[in-house]
Chain A
Amino acid sequence: MALVRVISSDGAAFLVSQRLAKRSGKLKTEIETFRKSSDNSEAQPEIRIVTIRAEILRLVLQWLQQHQNDPVLPANQNEQDGRGDAEMGQSQWDRDFLAPMDLGIVMELILAANHLEVKGLLDITCKLVESKITGRTVDEIRTAFKLKSDFKGNEEEQTRLENRWCVEN
């Protein structure tokens, strides 16, 4: 079976099947690029991901492994549909997978899923952060994410006004 070696920023190498790796848009492109540039069709591709450390890469691969037989989600899904599906499709496994993570790890996973183009994982991790935001007041959001307001003068009032001038449909 064709394998690919994926190396994290801190040098840990993961040997995974190409079939699994190709569920990541980024790895798929990399593998195809390697194929084109390599004379030996049997050669094993090696892909270095300089932005993702081993722990995070492991989690991404673990998630891919679990979801290897899911239908691939189209990247530009209709938003309304996308939201509904994400909600409907979130499995118990995903919930257990995310449950022990602290917010920092979730953030890194979002970056990794974004970089590796793994739509499903990006959805569930963003969904998790989203759940910290939905229904909250501005102050509650600031507290939850340790952010401070840096608006000066009437700038904050201005953003509030702009919100009122806009409607969704």
Chain B
Amino acid sequence: MEEPNSNPMLNSVILGNIFEMLPISDLASCRQVCKTWFEESKTRWRRDMWLKLGESDGDRSNDTTLALSKFLDLDENAAVTNPPNLEGVTFKKFKLQHWDFHLEKDDKWKAQFWKTYGPVITHLAIEQSVFGSREDFEAVIFQLIPNLQSLTLNKNKFNVKESQIKMRQSFSDVVFNANKMESSLELSGFPINTYNEVHTFKGLLKAMLNLSFNGGYKWTIEHLDIFHLHRNWCHRFEPGCINFLLKSLRFPLTSLSLDIGSDTYPSDFKIILETYANTLRKLVVFRKDGRSLIPDVSHRDFPFGVQLESLAELRLLGTAVTPNLKFMRFMPNLRSVFLAQETGSSMMDMEPFLSDSHLFSDLRKQQMEHQWGYLCSVFPVGNTDFSQLDNTLLQKMEEFIMCGKNDTICSAEQVAALARIMPNLRKVRVGLDNDGFRIVCSAWRELELLIIHPCEVNACGITGTLPGLQTQLPNLNDLTQLRYFAYACKGYLKSKVLAMDDSVVGIDTYKNLIKDTRAPPRPQITNEALQEFIQNVPHCMIKRFHDEDEEWPDLQEHNYEDDSSSGDESPTDFEEDMANILKFNNEIIEQQRRGNGGDEDDDDESEDVEDEDDEESEDVEDDDEIGLDVASDADEADHVHVDNRAG
């Protein structure tokens, strides 16, 4: 046990565990509390955070970027001489901004940086920097950082004079640690340039292909994110070329994220899907506007007849990747599907509860940057001929999120069809009226998250009542697992909300919610009922404890000295402990008696307990064993026995 008298909030085990869980913004505050906290925060901070390094203190660098020379000055690791031993806490993710990569120029700071940190860098982002030549680029990526796992390039300039680069020749003497660059490759903002330049994505692929043909390298890239490859959005995924290269390289891709382009031929898209059909577990496809991917006789709709057995997560963003849900036939192991045609604020609240929480915010950011209007949309459910999905059953489907500008209400038949295809859903966003809502309540009893949008459900629907009908219809109370419930989210006037009255206040399910987002109550709800409702929705635990701050005992009041060393514990404390334990045991006995007749053995032991029980107050240090049985739903009952033998 830790030293007596110490504040437990200085204990490194406790701090380590808590710091692992905190949101980064709060960890940032914690770092300023005291030296111990600062030191303890380093492990997670330096593992998870990116350090932004500017080349110099010059005009370009500002407060939020650390100048390289200053960093080397400050960082304890930089002082370590050759060979650097950076096993401990050091930054491994660097964001280099406004650097000038002219490696032939003599620069002692940079030389020291690459020498010390080159081998430990696993994640590198290079932004708004200049490469003096192709050699500089290749040296940075291929030589100086042997353990690179993830590379992000964004808005850089390349001063490449040659319009054609002889790949084979130049790469033959590059030391290239191919197998290390395995976890992800993320590229954005590449200049769209002439062919064969290694710093375009296509050029990089060509170089890689060249290496695998001529150098025997086996590429192990599993995650490829080229979502933001193009400065704006993609018009046409370069036919033949990238498809061909991706196909030839045959990465063992498990996740692929891309902007497929508004005018891309289905046949080109199909080639990509075919290439990775066996390994792909996650697919994110964005498509901006344009015509719908025109199905022709041979290719059909997305995924064009390609069977994607392993695919679990599918994100179809933007518009017109698919006009209906028939793609589900080809993906029997789907777990989570987002069909998002808009990225409006209605999604913000629920994003933390979804499996890809950053996806929408990223898209929203991009949407603002390029000033898209609302994307035009289709309503996939409405366009789906469910009879074609008759034999489709997606047992693993847990998350089905649809959001589109022109979403419409799903009819009861459509909801029923969805429920048949995905019987085990946990999270859903869908447009509903009373009839559809009732089907949701009876079909998806395990729902944890429900967002109704647009919403035409009213108080009758929520409570499952109908005027003149005695029996109660399926209603919100049937969803006992519900933790997040939202409807008619703010900012959306389209829903014909929603006359709620006092009858909805008593709904039990509300008590379980940790988050509830709703439109302002209509006049039908009285002030008293509203107050009651607010009391009945205890939101999340965090908030609850904030409110009860005063009830936390003063830390000083708790005597850690007594707790920390068992030997010194005063008899009174110990007796109290034992009495508590016995009390706890007795409670369990009671429970057990009520719940479980018990077999002979158990009865026997319970007798013992009763004896002990009687003597408990006088003689807690008796040596007799106290046994008891615990009620259990499981077939074999679990036992908790107490044997008090301290003295």
Binding site for B on A (CB under 8 A): 1, 3, 5, 8-17, 19-20, 51, 53-55, 58, 61-62, 65, 68-69, 79-84, 86-88, 90, 92, 95, 102-104, 107-108, 110-111, 114, 122-123, 126-138, 141-142, 144-151, 155-156, 158-169
Contact = CB atoms under 8 A, between A and B. Distances in A.
Sort A-B residue pairs by CB-CB distance and give the 3 closest, nearest first.
A15-B641, A11-B646, A104-B558
B493 interface: no
B352 A53 contact: no
Contacts of B552: 102-103, 132, 144
Interface stretch (B47-55, B110-118, B160-168): B47-55
A131 to B, nearest CB: 4
B560 A104 contact: yes
Interface string B59-96: 00001111000000010000000000000000000010
B64 A104 contact: no
A167 B630 CA distance: 51
21 contacts: A10-B566, A12-B646, A16-B639, A54-B577, A55-B577, A58-B584, A65-B638, A84-B353, A92-B512, A111-B2, A126-B17, A127-B542, A129-B18, A141-B30, A144-B552, A146-B555, A147-B7, A147-B33, A165-B51, A167-B49, A169-B50
Interface in B294-324: none
Given A90-B541, A95-B541, A17 B352 contact: no
A137 B14 contact: no
A14 B642 contact: yes
A165 B627 CA distance: 59
Contacts of B49: 166-168
B21 A127 contact: yes
A133 B10 CA distance: 14
Interface in B539-596: 540-542, 544-546, 549, 552-556, 558, 560, 563, 566, 569, 574, 577-578, 580-581, 584
A20 to B, nearest CB: 5
A147 B637 CA distance: 46
B208 to A, nearest CB: 25
B52 A167 contact: yes
B585 to A, nearest CB: 9
B43 to A, nearest CB: 14
B516 interface: no
B35 A150 contact: yes
A133 to B, nearest CB: 5
Contact of A15 (B1, B95, B639): B639
Interface of B: 1-2, 7-11, 13-14, 17-18, 20-24, 26, 28-35, 37-38, 45, 48-53, 63-66, 74, 95, 352-353, 355, 357-358, 448, 483, 512, 514, 540-542, 544-546, 549, 552-556, 558, 560, 563, 566, 569, 574, 577-578, 580-581, 584, 625, 627, 630, 632-634, 636-647
Output the residue of A82, A107, A165 with the most chain B CB within 10 A: A165
Nearest to A61: B640
Contacts of A148: 34
A20 B638 contact: yes
- A interface SS class: helix
A158 B66 CA distance: 12
A47 to B, nearest CB: 13
A18 to B, nearest CB: 9
Contacts of B14: 107, 110-111, 114, 129
Nearest to A133: B26
Given A53-B563, A68-B634, 20 more contacts: A10-B577, A12-B578, A14-B643, A15-B642, A16-B640, A54-B578, A58-B584, A81-B355, A95-B541, A107-B8, A110-B17, A130-B26, A141-B29, A142-B33, A142-B34, A144-B552, A146-B9, A161-B66, A167-B52, A167-B95
